[in-house]
Amino acid sequence: MSFPWAKHYEPKQPLMRWLDEKLPLPRLVYNAVGAGYPVPRNLNYFWNFGVLAGAALGIQIITGIVLAMHYAANAGVAFGSVESIMRDVNAGWFLRYAHANGASMFLLVVYIHISRGLYYGSYKAPREMVWLLGVVIFLLMMATAFMGYVLPWGQMSFWGAQVITGFFSAIPLVGETIRVWLLGGYAPDNAALNRFFSLHYLLPFVTAGVIILHIWALHIPGSNNPTGVDVKGEQDTVPFHPYYTAKDAVGLGVFFLVFALLLFFSPNLLGHPDNYIEANPLSTPAHIVPEWYFLPFYAILKSFTADFILPAKLWGVLAMFGSILLLFFLPWLDSSPVRSANFRPKYRTFLIVLLVDVLVLGYVGGAEANARNVMLGQLATAYYFAHFLIILPWVSRSERPRPLPGSITEAVLTKHGGTSPAKTALASN
């Protein structure tokens, strides 16, 4: 579905007409990301991040396929094969650093993309399905990133695998059996490394498939916008191409600049030196920490220190998975009909507190587990759950939103002109 004023694909060249009759692929592209997709005219740069995430996935797939040509998924030689990629393979260092830092860039833009959705209410009706599929993509990304981190078979790889598969042993009765089944042994070893490699190669393509569904679901209602007001007419939209292809290209340029800075000047900034030590099942590193993008969830896991009906370990694991699964219910936890936080003063304040709270969790996740940090983590965990389960349902019922603009066009013209021709036109009619 699209707006009735969407431009129609009319191939002029005979070859394109012939192709359109046999396999209308150019038509699909035209209607999806071309001039045939009308988009609100007021999107800001936060709307770049979906395209940036897609670009990051593309980079991961290309560099990953090439790395797989040089990597050996065998516990005996995996660490050595990664070192050989770094030292011997032509431009191997570049490909591996691009893949490792590319994962960080991917998660970074996705976190901003999710925050954008939270701020502008993009998860609300009629875009709930877009949001749900987005959470599925996020879960797939986390699984892929974790399994990818195991492949170099360094100390952090091994102990990360040990700790994360240890989550499953928290399940009562069958937990240990499940853990052994997942690992194919009693500790991470060759069997685990091989299956992680297989799945690490598979899941990005599954992710790409879900992304297609995500975009499909988005294109049914069309894109949200910073005002959160529905598109009312043709004057509210511009064609995706060339307007947003151009704007996305600007964002892509900035993305590549940041990526290049990380990749060429500080490729190990986000990694851990311990992962350059080969996996040793008999010695745990003094300080195990996951990659930066998992730290908030790791902090939630660590915040449960006392048994309460269930063992502390099970609470920690349930809370950690729960913190993500909670996002599936977000469209129904927030009942306010107003989408954009720009017009929801109370929600806006609490959302900013939530974003700071997640950063605090991230800090706690990476910090030493002393009494002060544990307390800070517990407070931050409590706020995280309170935000979604108490504050949000309450705020969405009690707050009085600011007046919404009559239309996207009105909002745009008021912002830029002071006097609004649209308003004048509406008043004279």
Instruction: Choose between 67 and 170: whose C-beta lies nearer to other proteins.
Output: 170
What is d(CA 235, CA 406) in angstroms, rounded to the nearest whole number?
13
Q: Residue 5: how many CB atoms within 10 A of its CB?
A: 11
Q: Residue 329: how many CB atoms within 10 A of its CB?
A: 13
HSE of 141 in the Cβ direction (CA atoms, 13 Å)? 27
What is d(CA 200, CA 218) in angstroms, rounded to the nearest whole number?
27
Q: Residue 362: how many CB atoms within 10 A of its CB?
A: 19
For tokens 């699209």, what's the residue? 2
CB 277, CB 155: distance < 8 Å: yes
Give the contacts of 66 (CB within 8 A, at least 6 positions apart). Answer: 95
Instruction: Choose between 287 and 397: whose C-beta lies nearer to other proteins.
Output: 287
Query: Could you tell me the smallest distance in angstroms from the CB atom of residue 366 to other proteins?
Result: 13
Instruction: Choose between 35 and 301: whose C-beta lies nearer to other proteins.
Output: 301
Q: Residue 302: how many CB atoms within 10 A of its CB?
A: 20
Closest among 365, 357, 193 to 294, alpha carbons compared:
365
Cα–Cα distance list, 328 to 133, 213, 332 (Å): 9, 16, 9
Query: Could you tell me the smallest distance in angstroms from the CB atom of residue 75 to other proteins?
Result: 10
Query: Could you tell me the smallest distance in angstroms from the CB atom of residue 383 to other proteins?
Result: 21
Query: Could you tell me the smallest distance in angstroms from the CB atom of residue 169 to other proteins?
Result: 8
Tell me the sheet residues that pair with 239: 38
Q: Which two tokens stand for residue 276?
A: 């350059």
- To the query of whether residue 241 is one of the catalytic residues in this protein, the response is no
Which of 219, 241, 313, 423 is the catalytic position?
219
Instruction: Choose between 284 and 424: whose C-beta lies nearer to other proteins.
Output: 284
Footprint of other proteins (CB under 8 A): 159, 162-163, 165-167, 169-170, 180-182, 184-187, 189, 191, 195, 281-284, 286-288, 302, 304-305, 307, 311-314, 316, 369
What is d(CA 294, CA 262) in angstroms, rounded to the nearest whole number?
19
Single-letter amino acid, residue 173: L
- To the query of whether residue 247 is one of the catalytic residues in this protein, the response is yes
- To the query of whether residue 291 is one of the catalytic residues in this protein, the response is yes
Q: Which residues are annotated as a binding site?
A: 99, 113, 200, 214, 219
Q: Which two tokens stand for residue 104?
A: 């960080």
Q: Which residues are annotated as a binding site for heme b?
A: 99, 113, 200, 214
Instruction: Choose between 314 and 376: whose C-beta lies nearer to other proteins.
Output: 314
269: phi then psi, degrees, rounded to nearest 5:
-55, -45
Strand-pair category, 237-239 with 38-40: antiparallel
Closest among 133, 152, 150, 131 to 206, alpha carbons compared:
133
Q: Which sequence positions are flagged as catalytic? A: 219, 223, 247-248, 291
